[in-house]
Amino acid sequence: MAKVVCVLYDDPVNGYPPKYARDDIPKIDHYPDGQTAPTPSAIDFKPGELLGSVSGELGLRKFLEANGHELVVTADKDGANSEFEKQLADADVVISQPFWPAYMTKERFDKAKNLKLVVTAGIGSDHTDLQAAMDKNVTVAEVTFCNSISVAEHVVMMILSLVRNYIPSYQWVIKGGWNIADCVERSYDLEGMHVGTVAAGRIGLAVLRRLAPFDVNLHYYDKHRLPKEVEQELNLTYHPNVEDMVKVCDVVTINCPLHPETEHLFNDEMIGKMKRGSYLINTARGKIADRDAVVRALESGQLAGYAGDVWFPQPAPKDHPWRTMPHHGMTPHISGTSLSAQTRYAAGTREILEDFFAGKPIR
């Protein structure tokens, strides 16, 4: 028997949904690069259900308990007295999502004497101390590509929301107004702008593909240059470094992982090299952007807008300055946890567990 501790976000404030806005979701059986979507032996949920919150349990309880395992699910994850901390000592498996991460520090690895597997239900395991995991011979796994397109869609939505000044315009409707001049005084067309992505991996490339029909000028920086045929297909301009790219872009979207090289990459100096009045989108990780540098840039007008769904820490405290800074389009960390994405990463988590318990390689 294994003890599986699963950290998920809280249920909706009005309770777990008795029904949903839609009756079904499209079936995605493979990703743009040809990789197949998760293929567990079975799933114990209906695709499109809310699985990432406590009551959803990632659809794992029936499977785990039928095989003699124990499942503990909690949203209480931070601090020495948290429920997660209490359950960690004899846990064999820890599961959490990037949107509500269980921060697996060296201290927590030292405490978890039985730990063998840490699963990210989603993509991005920077909330786990990977060196500590290696030192303790603990496997770290995530569900590759499961929500990359979900995030790419969120990026495009945020770019359009900022450039077209959507959020303030919507708020005038809520207020009962018809203030057209107030709505459009910061509204522009995306057409013809120069848009660049920091990294052109699964998410970055998907963003570029979705923006190409908008008749924009597309730029990218990545350590690994894309194939020539892809550059020609999308009419991409490659830049050898981030500084070179941001100087010419009206919109910059961050789609790289967080590591020592990218932490606080967008500080006062980097933002100062951007065009005045440009827009910055960050759905990668909060610490890639310097928190206070972003606030200063919005207040001074160096940035016309900043949007993203990644913060540090997560959840963000109520007094986090990104909640109240001007001209922002922030959301909680939701880009990769749409109900569509949850179907894939819940299935992927089960596939990982099936392979782990069977002693098979985890793909």
Task: Let me know how long the chain is.
Answer: 363
Rounded-to-integer distance, Cα 37 and Cα 267, Å = 37
Residues identified as active-site: 147, 285, 314, 333
Strand order in the sheet with 93-96: 70-74, 3-7, 93-96, 117-120, 139-142
- Taking a C-beta distance cutoff of 8 angstroms, is the pair 298, 327 a contact? yes
Instruction: Name residue 308's beta-bridge partners.
Output: 282
Reduced to 3 DSSP states, what percent helix, strand and coil does the chain have, rounded to the nearest 5? 35, 15, 50
Contact of 102 with 127, CB cutoff 8 Å: yes
Q: Which residue has the tokens 């499209």?
A: 26
Residue bearing tokens 């789609």: 255
CA-to-CA separations, 51 to 30, 45, 77, 103, 344, in angstroms, rounded: 21, 8, 18, 20, 10
Phi-psi region of 218 (alpha: psi -120 to 50; beta: other; left: phi over 0): beta
Q: Which residues pair with 118 in a beta bridge?
A: 94, 140
Backbone angles phi, psi at 139, to 5 degrees: -75, 135
Q: In what order do the strands lie in the sheet with 236-239?
A: 236-239, 217-221, 194-198, 251-254, 278-282, 303-308
* Residue whose structure tokens are 């820890």: 94
